[in-house]
Chain A
Amino acid sequence: MAKLSINGQMIDIDVEPDTPLLWAIRENVGLTGTKYGCGIAQCGACTVHMDGVAMRSCGVLVSEAVGRQITTIEGLAINGVLTRVQQAWIDHDVPQCGYCQSGMIMAVAALLKDNPQPSDADIDDAITNICRCGTYQQIREAIHAAANV
């Protein structure tokens, strides 16, 4: 058993403490917007925020997440109002298959919190998630657009 704070709610789940946070979120909490791509912290599809910091949840154990504020893609928009990052993603028609995009959006949201006007080089350093469809060009445009809202 573990008690996690996810998207502002305390949730009790029946799970081994060494379960990756990714799978606890997807299977025990039932929030499937956070995706599994590699399980070894390489692709970023599973990115969530822990106390406001972008983390690859496949590499975080449930025991390490206890007592932290976790935000998933489902918790990004407040009262159904999309964040400027999500809105920029829609305006620039960024997603292709979309499977990487939850993780991308979470990573970008964290970047913009720390660095509201990132340069291309800042983006290159901070955004290391994989998109196999190759939406990087639109992602870069959308990040700059979101930064300039």
Chain B
Amino acid sequence: MNPMRQLDRRAFVVGAASAGLALGFDVPFGGPTAVRAADGTREVNAWVVIRPDDTVVIRIARSEMGQGTLTGLAQLVAEELECDWSKVTTEYPTPGQSAARKRPWGSFNTGGSIGIRASQQYVRRGGAAARVMLLQAAANEWKVPAVECVAADSVITHAPTGRTVTYGKVAEAAAKLEPPTDVELKDPRDWKIAGRSMKRLDTADKTTGKMIYGIDVRLPGMLSAAIRACPVFGGKLKSFDEAKIAGLKGVGKVMRVGDDAVAVIADTWWRAKTALDALPIVWDEGDNAKVSSASIAGWLEEGLDPAQPAFVGNADGDARGAIAGAARTIEAVYDYPYQNHAALEPLNATALYTPDKCEVWTGTQDGERAFTAVVQASGLPSDKCDVHKVMLGGGFGRRTVPDYVRQAVLIARQMPGTPVKLVWSREEDMTHGRYHPVTQCKLTGAFDADDNLTGLHMRISGQSIAASSTPELLKDGMDPFTFQGVASSGEAFANIGPARLGYTIPHLLIDHSMRNPHVPVGVWRGVNGNQNGIYLECFMDELAHSAGQDPLAFRCKLMANHPKHLAVLDAVAERVGWSSPAPQGVFRGIAQQMGLGSYVAAAAEISVTDTNRIRVHRIVAATDPGTVVNPAQIERQIAGSFVFGLTGLFYGGCTVKDGRIAQTNFDTYNAMRIREMPKVEAIVMPSGGFWGGVGEPTIAVAAPAVLNAYFAATGKRIRSVPLSNLDIVFA
């Protein structure tokens, strides 16, 4: 069974009018007569539908893209619901339903590793409220006080008499009750379903080819669209010569999409794409066509000059004075390139437009942002629009931006009544990304005569994600997210969780000279922690070596005030055996960071051949995410994060030539394969009391741990990514 079933649209119309009561919770549960499920079953509340056969349908607003959020959130609801886990399935509500009910499911945003932690409280309350209602319904039927009834595994027992009834039998009655105004949540220490390594709910269909991704959507009478947007960002479409492809089999309309793209419609995508490849197109590329990686690098380099103005992200004491008066200073310059997300499923969306309705089927990391794009592009009122989410073939941040949804609607508007599936070719996907931002960094460390670190200036120069994609998040022009992982203790990063520097340095200055080239950038799994991890953690190694100290001991001295940062670092050092020699020919590196609300550290063991061939033998990675919902899924996220981070280190890197991205497919933008996969040993060590993310944070320590090990092996520092540019590859 596909767990991604949508709510039935007709049922939704029934419930919409009466729903949306605020009940004193962060997020309302929906009214007593709210939405029915597809089969007509009345919901207990917005989160929970229980069928007469005891099947439990848990509604999830965040998107599943492989990270396990669907299963984790269902575990949290089920925990409070006290239902039988083996009977749980899930479904997505639509953003249109949410809007009509005053957002009972809260945010749909699934970026920044917030899927579970940002909604854990209200989904647990949703489950708890449903349990209370089910207990009350049973008590009413038995005419006994509800306090005499207990629930476990979807069975309600009247303790004094031993009578029992299953949830499925009382769900219809429970749905008619007033929801409770307050509920108590369990202490995580008492969890039985949450906190355990439950198997994912969405695996079976992924092994048989049955799982439906956006690219697999089929609607009656549907046509397919292939698209090409101006290869130079900011450029426009001038003209195209439709006559040249007239008469090609299966090919229909050729159309403008916005002011910068052209699409070909055909009965199959392959025919549309083949025709598009043959279509003569004239672009107005504009001035951006003169920009190259070299011109961008030159501009960023100017920003490294300490005299250039910069936004201050973290400061203590007088770093400039400490550097000027130091017994000794050392300095290094690093850089980090553009990277494409390259989710394995190319971007796509299917749209059906009629003058009074517009619906879209797509994989999106933020249903509500996609919904807004549909409303804007269709020109229809929001209650005439909706988005039906399907499984994502990877997201990694790229599917937070609904540019492809907008295009699909603009195409469908030109063909009212005909559903159209827009699929980007891999080449379109590679060249129209929302890339990892490009930055450089100059670090200067000051030592006193006794080799104590007295000052550090970390000057970042380069691009801001917020300026490019979410300018509303800028604070007086500054992008606080630039300082992810090196932020001051006061910085909250409200929506993605704290990302504080783990060192106390007497005189500190971390600042950002913002320079925004024309290439659009966005959140790329791990976000700004990725480059900050390399910059700071590799430089920490440089500082330690220049002071003749062990990299671990050097860090520990600066981390006394940061016990949680220190605990994960100690954990990896101990597990990797830092205090004893590595095996013959094997060298070690370490790194730590806090990001997206979690504390992480890694130790790498690598060997390097005479011809610069690297084998990463072993990675030990520790994470303290505060609270753990599914340890096995966290281990998988950690292992996967090293594939993502080390792919970026070894192979990543999009270069700009004539204003466009030069890499067009996996032949020039490689990805790690199984041969290159190190053994990842994950240490999951929740210290309790907070909720951190797990899908991304460890990416930030992957590259610096390996780079520091490379120095240990060779005595050479690498300060530039990707390694393939330096002719350093996997063995």
A contact residues vs B (CB 8 Å cutoff): 16, 19-20, 23, 27-28, 30-40, 42-43, 45, 72-74, 76-77, 82, 86, 89-90, 93-102, 105, 123-125, 127-140
A93 and B269 contacting across the interface, CB-CB below 8 Å: no
Give the contacting residue for A35; candidates B218, B249, B393, B636; CB below 8 A: B393
A93 and B66 contacting across the interface, CB-CB below 8 Å: no
CB neighbours (8 Å) of A95 from chain B are 66, 200, 202-203, 206-207
Most B Cβ at <10 Å: residue of A36, A129, A133, A135: A133
B208 and A23 contacting across the interface, CB-CB below 8 Å: no
* 8 further contact pairs, Cβ within 8 A, besides A27-B270, A93-B199, A93-B200: A23-B270, A72-B209, A76-B208, A134-B672, A136-B674, A137-B679, A138-B636, A138-B639
A74 with B344: in contact, given A89-B203, A137-B679 (CB under 8 Å)? no
In the complex, A42 Cα to B667 Cα: how many Å?
7
B208 and A74 contacting across the interface, CB-CB below 8 Å: yes
A28 and B208 contacting across the interface, CB-CB below 8 Å: no
A43 and B207 contacting across the interface, CB-CB below 8 Å: no
Q: What is the CB-to-nearest-CB distance from A76 to chain B, in angstroms, rounded to a whole number?
A: 8
Any A CB within 8 A of the CB of B137? no
Give the contacting residue for A98; candidates B211, B224, B632, B675; CB below 8 A: B211
CB neighbours (8 Å) of B218 from chain A are 30, 32
A99 with B207: in contact, given A27-B268, A38-B426, A124-B675 (CB under 8 Å)? no
Which stretch in B169-177, B180-188, B556-564, B641-649 binds the other chain? Answer: B641-649
In the complex, A135 Cα to B227 Cα: how many Å?
31
Any A CB within 8 A of the CB of B263? no
Any A CB within 8 A of the CB of B517? no
In the complex, A86 Cα to B206 Cα: how many Å?
9
The contact sample of 17 A-B pairs, CB cut-off 8 A, is: A28-B268, A73-B208, A73-B209, A76-B208, A93-B199, A93-B636, A94-B203, A96-B67, A98-B391, A105-B207, A128-B674, A132-B342, A132-B643, A133-B66, A133-B344, A133-B394, A137-B679
CB neighbours (8 Å) of B343 from chain A are 97, 99, 132
3 closest A-B pairs by CB = A33-B209, A134-B643, A98-B206
CB neighbours (8 Å) of A99 from chain B are 213, 343-345, 393-394
Give the contacting residue for A97; candidates B268, B393, B643; CB below 8 A: B393
Q: In the complex, which residues 200-229 of chain B have their Cβ closer than 8 Å to any Cβ of chain A?
A: 200, 202-213, 215-216, 218, 224
In the complex, A31 Cα to B209 Cα: how many Å?
8
Q: Which residue of A lies closest to B343 (CB)?
A: A132
B209 and A34 contacting across the interface, CB-CB below 8 Å: yes
In the complex, A135 Cα to B667 Cα: how many Å?
21
Any A CB within 8 A of the CB of B697? no
Q: What is the CB-to-nearest-CB distance from B437 to chain A, in angstroms, rounded to a whole number?
A: 20
Most B Cβ at <10 Å: residue of A27, A38, A97, A138: A97
A136 with B643: in contact, given A28-B268, A33-B210, A99-B394 (CB under 8 Å)? yes
A98 and B346 contacting across the interface, CB-CB below 8 Å: no
B249 and A97 contacting across the interface, CB-CB below 8 Å: no
B674 and A16 contacting across the interface, CB-CB below 8 Å: no
Q: What is the CB-to-nearest-CB distance from B215 to chain A, in angstroms, rounded to a whole number?
A: 7
Q: Which residue of B lies closest to A44 (CB)?
A: B673
In the complex, A101 Cα to B207 Cα: how many Å?
7
Q: What is the CB-to-nearest-CB distance from A129 to chain B, in angstroms, rounded to a whole number?
A: 7
Any A CB within 8 A of the CB of B654? no
In the complex, A133 Cα to B425 Cα: how many Å?
20
A96 and B674 contacting across the interface, CB-CB below 8 Å: no
How many contacts between A and B, using CB within 8 angstroms?
175
Q: What is the CB-to-nearest-CB distance from A110 to chain B, in angstroms, rounded to a whole number?
A: 15
CB neighbours (8 Å) of A93 from chain B are 199-200, 203, 632, 636
B268 and A137 contacting across the interface, CB-CB below 8 Å: no
Q: Which residue of A lies closest to B198 (CB)?
A: A93
Give the contacting residue for A132; candidates B632, B644, B674; CB below 8 A: B644
Q: Which residue of B lies closest to A129 (CB)?
A: B673
Q: What is the CB-to-nearest-CB distance from B542 to chain A, in angstroms, rounded to a whole number?
A: 29
Any A CB within 8 A of the CB of B650? no
A131 with B643: in contact, given A16-B249, A27-B269, A99-B394 (CB under 8 Å)? yes
CB neighbours (8 Å) of A97 from chain B are 65-66, 343-345, 391-395
Any A CB within 8 A of the CB of B534? no
A136 and B344 contacting across the interface, CB-CB below 8 Å: no
Give the contacting residue for A86; candidates B65, B208, B426; CB below 8 A: B208
Q: Which residue of B lies closest to A123 (CB)?
A: B674
Q: What is the CB-to-nearest-CB distance from B680 to chain A, in angstroms, rounded to a whole number?
A: 6
Give the contacting residue for A131; candidates B224, B268, B344, B423; CB below 8 A: B344
CB neighbours (8 Å) of B396 from chain A are 132
Q: Which residue of A lies closest to B430 (CB)?
A: A38
CB neighbours (8 Å) of A135 from chain B are 636, 639-640
Most B Cβ at <10 Å: residue of A39, A77, A96: A96
Give the contacting residue for A130; candidates B210, B211, B636, B671; CB below 8 A: B671
Q: Mark B383-412, 1 if CB is under 8 A from A, else 0.
A: 000000001111110000000000000000
Q: What is the CB-to-nearest-CB distance from B397 to chain A, in angstroms, rounded to a whole number?
A: 12
A137 with B344: in contact, given A82-B207, A96-B68 (CB under 8 Å)? no
Any A CB within 8 A of the CB of B677? yes
In the complex, A136 Cα to B676 Cα: how many Å?
9
CB neighbours (8 Å) of A124 from chain B are 674-675
Give the contacting residue for A134; candidates B268, B342, B639, B666; CB below 8 A: B639
Any A CB within 8 A of the CB of B6? no
In the complex, A73 Cα to B209 Cα: how many Å?
6
Q: What is the CB-to-nearest-CB distance from A54 to chain B, in angstroms, rounded to a whole number?
A: 15
Any A CB within 8 A of the CB of B665? yes
Q: Mark B663-692, 1 if CB is under 8 A from A, else 0.
A: 001110001111101011000000000000
CB neighbours (8 Å) of A82 from chain B are 207-208
CB neighbours (8 Å) of A19 from chain B are 270
CB neighbours (8 Å) of A42 from chain B are 665-667
Q: Which residue of A lies closest to B268 (CB)?
A: A27
Q: Which residue of A lies closest to B64 (CB)?
A: A97
Q: In the complex, which residues 307-338 of chain B have their Cβ closer than 8 Å to any Cβ of chain A?
A: none
A35 and B667 contacting across the interface, CB-CB below 8 Å: no
CB neighbours (8 Å) of A72 from chain B are 209
Q: What is the CB-to-nearest-CB distance from B156 to chain A, in angstroms, rounded to a whole number?
A: 32
A132 with B636: in contact, given A37-B344, A95-B206, A98-B66 (CB under 8 Å)? no
Q: What is the CB-to-nearest-CB distance from B347 to chain A, in angstroms, rounded to a whole number?
A: 12
Q: Which residue of A lies closest to B204 (CB)?
A: A90
CB neighbours (8 Å) of B224 from chain A are 27
In the complex, A30 Cα to B671 Cα: how many Å?
29
Q: What is the CB-to-nearest-CB distance from B221 to chain A, in angstroms, rounded to a whole number?
A: 14
